[in-house]
Structure formats: C-alpha cells, structure tokens
Amino acid sequence: MKKVQAKTSLFAAALVLVAASFSTMLQAGSVEDGIASRIQAVGSVCIEGEDCAKALTVAAAGPKAADEVYNTGCLACHASGAAGAPKFRVAADWTARLSQGLDTVYANAINGKGGMPAKGLCPSCSDDEIKAAVDYMIEGL
C-alpha cells in the first residue's frame, strides 16, 4: 500500500509541476499579448487602389467663390494696403495697375510681384479663382 501511495504522491507531484509549467506558459503568453497590444500602431495607412480605399471618397468641391478667396487670403493685405497692396475697391489704388491691362493684373496676382507672393495667401487656389478674386476686388471701379 505504501508503494501505491508513493506512486500516487509522485504522480500528483508531477501533475502539479505540469500544471505550474502550463500556468507559467499561459501567463508568459498573456504578458507578451499585453506588450503587443500596448505597442501596436495607433492607426493605419490606406493607399489609393487598395481595398480599404474603396469606401473612402472625397467629394469634389467646386471652385471657391470670389468673396471666399478674398476673405480667406487677399484681405490680409488688400483691406489695409499693407506692403503697398492696392486697397479693396479703391479706384485710385488700382488705376496705374489697371492701365497695364487686366491680363497683366491677373498675371501679377497669379505669379506674384514685389511683396505679393504667387497667388497671395492662397496657394491652393486655381488661376481662375485668383482671377475671380481680382475681379471682386476691382468690381465697380
């Protein structure tokens, strides 16, 4: 009977060791999983042509209105005449420029001249939007 008890005790001890080893392996896996979840990327990149991009659409916006272009960029200088800019709808400020022709005024507004950078403060504006903003600034002169 003592031999059976000894074998049973030995078997139980072996079982405890296996269970402890298994528990340690599970804990190690959960530690690794925890680390992996803490250092994973915050976001992902979706490139045009990939499946993830099929759901993404950007609504095509129409051209900006002339007053919108003026109010978001041009007015910074043209409202006050900063850096020698002709003031909004002040005929005396525009006379010399307009005498060179409207195409020259457009070209200067698009390409920049003197203290005015190309397209003023709206590098994302199209040439037509800049022309419309010029027309808006000289309207009624």
Q: Measuring CA to CA, which residue among 60, 58, 57, 70 is closest to residue 125? A: 70
pLDDT at 22: 55
Looking at residue 38, what is its pLDDT?
A: 82
End-to-end CA distance of the chain: 118
Residue 7 confidence (pLDDT)? 57
Helices 127-138 & 91-98 angle (0-180, nearest 10)? 130
How is residue 29 written in tokens?
A: 């896996």
| Averaged pLDDT, groups of 10, the chain, 141 residues long | 59 61 57 80 81 72 91 92 94 95 96 91 92 95 88
Q: Please provide the DSSP assignment of the chain as one string.
A: -HHHHHHHHHHHHHHHHHHHHHHHHHHHHHHHHHHHHHHS-S-----TTSGGGTT---PPP-PPPHHHHIIIIIHHHHTTTGGGPPPTT-HHHHHHHHTT-HHHHHHHHHH-BTTBPTTTT-TTS-HHHHHHHHHHHHTT-
